[in-house]
A and B are shown apart, each in its own frame.
Chain A
Amino acid sequence: MVIKKPVVISTSKKRSETSDFVFTKDQVRFTGNQVIDAYREKAWKINQETGIPTTKEEAWRRTDIRSLRLGQFQLIKRNEKSSISDIPANLLEPVADGDHGGQIILYANEYIHRLDEDLQKNGVIFCDLLTAERDYADLLAKAIGTIVKPEEGKFSALTGAFAQNGVFLYIPKNVVIETPVHSLIWGAGIDTAQISHIIVYLESGASATYVLEFASKTEEKGQSLITNNIEIYVGPQANFRFVELQSLGRHVWNFTHERVQVDRDGQLDWIFGAIGGHLTKNFAELDLIANGAVGKMSGFYFTDKNQHLDYDSQQNHLAANTTSDLLFKGALVDESRSVWQGMIYVAPGADKTDGYQANRNLLLSKQARADSIPGLEILANDVRCTHGATVGKIDADQVFYLMSRGIARPDAEKLIVEGFFDPIMQRIPFEGVKHRFQKAISDKMGSYLG
C-alpha cells in the first residue's frame, strides 16, 4: 500500500506586484491536452498566489534571494542570439561509459535531438518537451505534475506554468537501454529566465542511464535565472541510473525541484555533481513508494569565491522493505557557502526500512562556511536509520606527514582533498563522471592554491 506523505505547502503569500517575476498568463503554453493544460492552469494560479520565498521559511532560512532582480527577467525569445558553437565540445562528450544512444541540446529556445534508430524501434522516446507535447501528449499527461507538484513551492509552480522547454524520456516496459542518453541544457543570457521541465518515465522492468547536464558560460555582470522541475518515475523492477551535472556560469541563479519515485523492487542510482552557478537552491527528493524499492544518492560539490549552494534532500520511505543510501560530500574554498539539509522520513507502516544519510564537508578557507543538518522523522517501529554530518578542515598533521615525504604543500593538500572525495568516486560507476569531478577538484584547488 502506498502511504501518502503530507505535502509541504509554501506559506509565503505575495507581498506586492513588484516583488515577483513579470511573466504573464499569455506566456503559459496551453497544448489542447486537458490534463497538461489543467496542470499548467493550476501551476499558474499557485504561482500567482505564492510569493518569493524568504528566509523566514525554514527551507530558505540559510539562502537569501533578495538580491535576485526579479523584475528584470524575461523568458527567452525565439530570436535571441545564441549559437551552439558557444558550447564547449567536452560537455557533449559521453561521460557515462559508452557512446550516447541519444542526445538533446537545449539552448536559447532552440533544440537539437537525436536518438539511435534501434532505440526508436524499441519504443523509446527521448525528445524535447515541445515535441513531446505535440507528438506524445497522452504519455506526457500520464506523468506531468504527478511527482513534483505546483504546491511545493514558488519555483515548482513557476516552472510548471512557464516551462519553455524540457526533456521527455520514456522507456517502455522491459526495454533495456545499454547506451546512456544525454541532454544538455545550456543556460541563457543576462536578464533571461530559462525554465525547463524534465520528465522521465520508466515502465516496469525498463532500464536506462540518463545524464542530465546544466551548463553555461560566465557573464561578467548581471544575472541569469534557471529553474527546473525534474520528475522521474521508476516503475516496478525498473532500473535507472541518473547523473545530474551542474556547471553553470558564476552569474546564474538556479532553482530546482526534483523528485524520483521508485516503485516496487525498482532501483535508482542517482549522482549529483555541482561546481557552478552563483546561487543554487535544490530540493531533491526520493520517494520509495512500494515494497523493495531502493534508492542511492551520491553528491559531489565544490564551491569557491562567492558561490552559494543549498541542497535539501528528502528520503521518503513510504512503504515497507525500502532502502535508501545518501552520501553527499563537498569542499569549499574562498568565502563560498554550502547548505545541506537532509531528512529521512519513514511513514507509518514502512517497516524493515533501511535508511542512511551522511554529509561531509571540508572547509579549505577560514571564510568558507558549510551548514550540515541531518534529520530523521520515523513513524514506523521496525526500522534501521543512521545518519551523520560533519564539517571539518584539512588536518595539519596530515599535511606535515605528506610534506615530510617530499610532497609540496599544494600537492599535499590536493591529495588530501582527493582522498576526502574518494568515497564518492567509489560510488560512481562511470569513469567519465569521475574524470569530470577530478578535473573540478584540480581546477578549484588550482585557483585556491594561487
Chain B
Amino acid sequence: MSELVIKNLHVNINGKEILKGLNFTLPKGEVHAIMGPNGTGKSTLAYTLMGHPAYEVTEGEVFFNGVNILDLEPNERSILGIFLAFQYPVAIPGVTVANFIRSAVNSRRRAVNTDDKGVPLLEFRKEVKQKMEMLRMDPSFAGRYLNDGFSGGEKKRAEILQMAMLKPEIAILDETDSGLDIDALKIVADGVNTLRGPDLGVVIITHYQRILNYIKPDYVHVMMDGKIVESGESDLALHLEEHGYDWIREKVNGN
C-alpha cells in the first residue's frame, strides 16, 4: 500500500499559482528526494502537505494511508503521522524545548485516549535525554526557549529531535541542510539515518545534492515550475550536481 499519494495538486498563494498539477507517490518506508532550482514550489509543497492556512489548494488530492488529508487541520495531520522539519523553524519565546515536546507528545496520547494523563515525567525525560545524546545536544538545550536565539545548526537539530520524539510515519525535510556546516549536517543526517526504516518514509526537499551524500535516497525527483518533471534513482542527483538543471529545463521545454 502506498503511504503518501499526491494527485494533480494545484496550490495558490496570494492568488498566484505555485503548484501546477503535481503528482507524487511516496511508498511506505522509502526515502525520496525532491530537488529543483529556487522558486519552483518545493517549500510550497512542504507547507501544503502540513496544512499551512496561507496555501490554498485549488485542485487535486493528497492521500495519506488512503485518507484525503486536505480538509484536516495541521495538528490532525501531525497525529496521523506526517512531520515537517521546517526550513525556518519559528521561535517561541517563553516555551522551553522540553515543555513544547511534552505538549506535543501528550497531544498524540490524548488523540488515542482522551483520558490519558500525559506521559510520565521520568519516562519523558529519559527518552528526551537519549534522543538528545543521539543528536549530540547538550542537556541544557531542553531548558532553552524553543528556537529562540538558536544557531542554524541548533534549529535543525531541534527539528530532528522533535521528529525522533514524535515518531512520524513520513517526514518531510524542507531544506534541512541549508545553513549547516559539514559537521552539523553529519549529525543531522546520522539522526535521520538512525530513524529511517520500514516505519518511516522520508521526503528530502533540497536545492543541493550535498545532503544526499549522507542520507541516501531510494529515488530522486526533479521539480520545476510547480511540477515533478523527472524521476530517477539516486544517481540522478549526482548527474544534477554535475550538469545542473539546464538539461532538464531544455528537455521539458523541448517536449
Contact = CB atoms under 8 A, between A and B. Distances in A.
Same complex for A and B? Answer yes
Interface of A: 395-398, 400-409, 411-412, 415-416, 418-423
20 contacts: A398-B90, A401-B89, A403-B74, A403-B75, A404-B51, A404-B77, A405-B75, A406-B79, A406-B111, A408-B73, A408-B75, A408-B107, A412-B75, A415-B100, A416-B95, A419-B94, A419-B95, A421-B94, A422-B145, A423-B94
A356 B75 CA distance: 40
A395 B84 CA distance: 19
In the complex, the 9 A-B pairs of residues with the closest C-beta atoms, listed nearest first: A419-B94, A422-B94, A406-B78, A419-B95, A405-B104, A403-B74, A401-B90, A406-B107, A403-B75
Interface string B14-57: 00000000000000000000000000000000000011110000
Contacts of A411: 103, 107
B75 A404 contact: yes
A450 B226 CA distance: 40
Q: How large is the interface on B (under 10, 10 to 19, 20 to 34, 35 or more residues)?
A: 20 to 34
Interface-centre pick from B74, B95, B166 (highest chain A CB count, 10 A): B74
B104 A406 contact: yes
Nearest to A395: B90
Contacts of B94: 416, 418-423
Q: Among B83, B100, B162, which residue has the most Cβ atoms of chain A within 10 A?
A: B100
Contacts of A401: 86, 89-90, 92
A418 B108 contact: no
Contacts of B92: 398, 401-402, 415-416, 419
Contacts of A405: 75, 78, 100-101, 104, 107, 162, 166
Contacts of B50: 400, 404
B74 A404 contact: yes
Contacts of B95: 415-416, 418-419, 422
B166 A404 contact: no
A67 to B, nearest CB: 37
B93 interface: yes
A422 B96 CA distance: 10
B43 to A, nearest CB: 13
Contacts of A415: 92, 95, 99-100, 103
A404 B93 contact: no
Interface in B56-97: 73-75, 77-79, 83-84, 86, 89-90, 92-95
A409 B50 CA distance: 14
Contacts of A395: 90
A407 B166 CA distance: 12
A406 B166 contact: yes
A408 to B, nearest CB: 5
Interface SS of chain A: helix
Nearest to B105: A406
B53 A404 contact: no
A251 to B, nearest CB: 33
Given A400-B53, A401-B86, A401-B92, A407 B103 contact: yes
Given A398-B92, A409-B73, A418-B94, A404 B84 contact: yes
Nearest to B50: A404
B18 to A, nearest CB: 18
Contact of B100 (A402, A420, A421): A402
Contacts of B78: 403-406
A406 B72 CA distance: 12
Contacts of B108: 406
B86 A407 contact: no
Contacts of A416: 92, 94-95
A404 B92 CA distance: 14
B124 to A, nearest CB: 15
A397 to B, nearest CB: 5
* Candidate in B94, B145, B162 with the most chain A CB atoms within 10 angstroms: B94
Contact of A403 (B73, B93, B162): B73
Contact of A407 (B53, B93, B104, B145): B104
A419 B99 CA distance: 10
Interface string B97-124: 0011101100110010000000000000
Given A396-B53, A411-B107, A406 B90 contact: no
Given A408-B75, A412-B75, A415-B100, 17 more contacts: A396-B53, A397-B90, A398-B90, A400-B53, A401-B86, A401-B92, A402-B104, A404-B86, A405-B75, A406-B78, A408-B107, A409-B73, A409-B75, A415-B95, A416-B94, A416-B95, A422-B145
A401 B104 CA distance: 11
A407 B101 CA distance: 10
Contacts of B84: 404
Contacts of B89: 401
A409 B107 CA distance: 11
Contacts of A403: 51, 73-75, 78
Given A400-B53, A415-B103, A407 B90 contact: no
A364 B6 CA distance: 36
Contacts of A409: 73, 75
A415 B75 CA distance: 14
Contacts of B73: 403, 408-409
Contacts of B99: 415
A162 B108 CA distance: 58
